[in-house]
Amino acid sequence: MDIFFIATVLIFLSSIFGYINQRFIKLPSAIGLMLITILFTLSVVIISFFDDTLLQQEKEFIQSIDFKTVLLDIMLSFLLFAGALHTNFTELKAQRKPVIAFATLGILISTFLSGVFVYYLLQLINFPVDFIYCLLFGALISPTDPIAVLGIMKKVGAPKNLEIKIVGESLFNDGVGVVVFLTIYQIAKGATAISLGDITQLFLIEVVGGLALGLLIGWICYQLMKTIDDYDTEVIITLAAVMGGTLLAQKLHVSAPLAMVTAGLLIGEDTIKKNSMSKITQQYVDKFWELIDVLLNTILFVLIGMEILVLTLETTYVLAGFIVIPFLLIARYISLLLPIKLYASKLGFAPKTNLIMTWGGLRGGISIALALSLTHDMHRDLFLVITYIVVVFSILIQGLTVGKLIKKYT
C-alpha cells in the first residue's frame, strides 16, 4: 500500500471516529478515539465469523504500517515539539529538580521493580521467562507517554504545580527510558558485553547530545525569526526545525525526542517569543502547532486501537496482562517516593502528589512501539500483549478517572 492511501484511510477514519466521539460520546479525544477504534475493530472481528473480507483487509492495512518507525522516527518529534511549545517554561524551570529526578531516578527504579514483579508473576502462572527479558519489559513500560499525558492533562484541570510535574516528567522521561531500554536490549541480545563506561557513553550521547542539539536548534530559530516579521515564513522555520532537527539527531545518534522538547521549550519561552515574534506570528505559530498536535494525536490513537489485530491473543498472555497491571502501578508509586521526599520540603507539592502521579502516569504508543522492536527470542508476542493491555487500561480507565482523583484530593 502506498503512503498516500494509508494516510487517506487513517485521516478518514480519524475524522469519522472523532465526529462520533464529539457528537455522541463526548469523551476526551484520546480516550474516545481509542475506545471507538477498538469497538470498530472488534465489530469487524465479529462480522468475520460470517464474512472475513473486511477483517482481512483491515489486517493487511495495519500490517502494512511500521508502527515503531512511524511513531518513534516521525510522529514523536512533531508531537513533543508541539507539547513543549505550549508548556509554560517558567513553571517548568521552577520544578526542574523534581522533574529531572522523576525522569531519571524514577525510571531506573521503576524499570527494576517492574522487571522483578513481572519475573515472579510469570512464574506463578507457569510461564517462566528469563529475568533479563522481564527487565527489558520493565524498561519499555516505565516511561509515561507524553502524548497521552499532555492530552489528558489539558482536560482535567489539575493544579498548575502538579500538572507541570506530570507533564514535565512525561516530556523528558521517554528519552531516558529509551536509553535504558537500548542498554538492556544490547545485554539481552548477548552480542557484546556492556560496561559501565558503555552505558555512560550511551547516556551522554543520547541524552546530553539531544539536549545540546535542541538548544542549538532553538537558538538558531530565535536568531532567524527575530530578524524578520512574516508569519508565513516563521511558521515554516519552526516546521523546518522539527523536520531537519529530527533527521540531524538521527544521523548524530542523539535523542531526537529530547532535542525537540528542548527546542520547543526554548522557542515557546515567553521572553524569547516576544522578542522574536509579533503577536500575529505568535498566534499563527501556536495555532499551526495546535493543529499538528490534534491531527497526529488523532491518527496515533486510531492506530493504537487497530494494533489489536497484530496481537497473539493466547489465554496465558491475556491473563498475564491483567495480572501485572496493579503491580506496575505499585512499582511506579514506589519509584516516585524518593524524588518526592527529596523535594517536598523545598517546592510546593499538591496533596497526594504520589497517588495522583501514579494514576496519572499514562502509558501509550511509545511502549507499544518499543515492544514491537523486541525479537521473538525476547518473547515479543507475550510482552506485546501485556503492553497493549496495560496501555489500553492506562488510557481508558486511568485517563477517565484521573480527573476525579485530582478533584478529590486538590
For 277-308, what is each residue's pLDDT tens digit? Answer: 999 999 999 999 999 988 998 999 999 999 99
pLDDT score for 246: 96
Flag whether 172 is in a domain: yes
Residue from 108, 249, 117, 246 nearest 179 by CA = 108
pLDDT score for 192: 56
pLDDT score for 88: 86
Query: What percent of the chain has pLDDT above 70?
Result: 96
Backbone angles phi, psi at 146, to 5 degrees: -65, -30
pLDDT score for 2: 84
Residue from 146, 41, 28 nearest 396 by CA = 28
- Which sign does the torsion angle of CA 141, 142, 145, 149 carry? positive
Flag whether 286 is in a domain: yes
Q: Per residue in 331-367, pLDDT tens? A: 999 999 998 888 877 666 777 889 999 998 999 889 9
pLDDT score for 308: 93
Judged against a pLDDT cut of 60, whether residue 120 lies above it is answered with yes
Flag whether 26 is in a domain: no
pLDDT score for 154: 67
* Residue with grid cell 481508558, as numbered in its chain: 396
Flag whether 19 is in a domain: no
Mean pLDDT of 34-47: 94
Determine the Cα–Cα distance for residues 30 and 25; give it in Å rounded to an integer.
12
Mean pLDDT of 112-121: 97
Query: What percent of the chain has pLDDT above 90?
Result: 67
Mean pLDDT of all residues belonging to the chain = 90
**Range of lowest pLDDT (242-246, 269-273, 320-324, 406-410):** 406-410
Task: Find the domain containing 132 and state its range.
Answer: 67-409
Mean pLDDT of 142-170: 79
Torsion angle (degrees, nearest 10) of CA 271, 288, 290, 283: 40
Determine the Cα–Cα distance for residues 410 and 390; give it in Å rounded to an integer.
27
Residue from 215, 223, 217 nearest 243 by CA = 217
Residue from 306, 365, 294 nearest 68 by CA = 365
Are 405 and 329 contacting, i.e. CB atoms less than 8 angstroms apart? Answer: no
- Residue ranges of alpha helices (H) inside 22-104 are 29-47, 53-63, 67-68, 76-85, 89-94, 96-103
DSSP 8-state symbol, 87: S
Question: Is the model more confident about 177 or about 280?
Answer: 280
Question: Is the model more confident about 391 or about 310?
Answer: 391
The set of residues, in sequence order, having a beta carbon less than 8 Å from that of 218 and lying 6+ positions away, is 241, 262, 263, 264, 265, 266, 267, 272
Are 374 and 138 contacting, i.e. CB atoms less than 8 angstroms apart? Answer: no
What's the pTM? 0.93
Judged against a pLDDT cut of 80, whether residue 153 lies above it is answered with no
Q: Collapse the DSSP code of 252 into the 3-class scheme (helix H, G, I; strand E, B; otherwise coil) and give the result.
A: helix
- Stated length of the chain: 410
* Residue with grid cell 512574516, as numbered in its chain: 230
pLDDT score for 193: 63
Domain count, the chain: 1
Q: How confident is the model at residue 158 (pLDDT cuts 50, 70, 90)?
A: confident
pLDDT score for 173: 87
Flag whether 30 is in a domain: no
- Determine the angle formed by the axes of helices 146-156 and 399-409, rounding to 10 degrees: 50
Q: Per residue in 47-101, pLDDT tens? A: 999 999 999 999 999 999 999 999 988 999 999 999 899 888 888 988 888 999 9
Flag whether 13 is in a domain: no
pLDDT score for 292: 94
Flag whether 131 is in a domain: yes
| 68-95: b (≥16 Cβ within 10 Å) or e | bebbbeebbbbbbbbbbbbbbbebbeeb
pLDDT score for 151: 66
Backbone angles phi, psi at 182, to 5 degrees: -65, -40
Are 366 and 72 contacting, i.e. CB atoms less than 8 angstroms apart? Answer: yes
pLDDT score for 191: 54
pLDDT score for 1: 72
Q: Which amino acid is at 332?
A: R
The domain that holds 261 is classified in CATH as 1.20.1530.20
320: cell is 498475564
Flag whether 277 is in a domain: yes
